[in-house]
Structure 1
Amino acid sequence: MTLFNVDIQMSSGSAIKTTGQGAVTLELNGTNIAKSNTGGAGIQKMNIDWLVIQDNSTPDGSLTAAGGDYTADIGGS
């Protein structure tokens, strides 16, 4: 999955949540934000396979991930 200048800010739940089986790769292009205010991670991976966050682009991409109260910025199920 490629994130290209996304700005996801949730009032509840996870901003980005993966489901299903298998590894997930996030490619960063531009400035990306994934934030939750309550009860969810900025990025939540729902199975035990890998989560890869990479930037193979020029110019560089970035990611700001922030979870809500008592939750991870980037976390699992």
Structure 2
Amino acid sequence: MAVLIKKIDSLNARTLGNDDNLLLLSRELDAMDIDVLAITETRRHPEAFVYASCDVGYFSRFDKIGGIGFLIKGDLA
């Protein structure tokens, strides 16, 4: 069964190195009913995570600055 993506957005996060920032962003994703969020300037080392509400994040590796990532609702991942 195909899943319909309704809302895609982007964000320059400046940093998501702190888990608290990532948690707040994930909550906002749910509150704003965004299906996929493309993120730049993540500055985050872990490559993937699963948040309790089933949001899934994928992040690229980086050296000192930058990094990109995606937050995807769990039912789409």
Normalising to structure 2: TM-score of the pair?
A: 0.31
Q: Which structure: greater helix fraction?
A: 2
Higher relative contact order (CA 8 A, sep 6+): 1
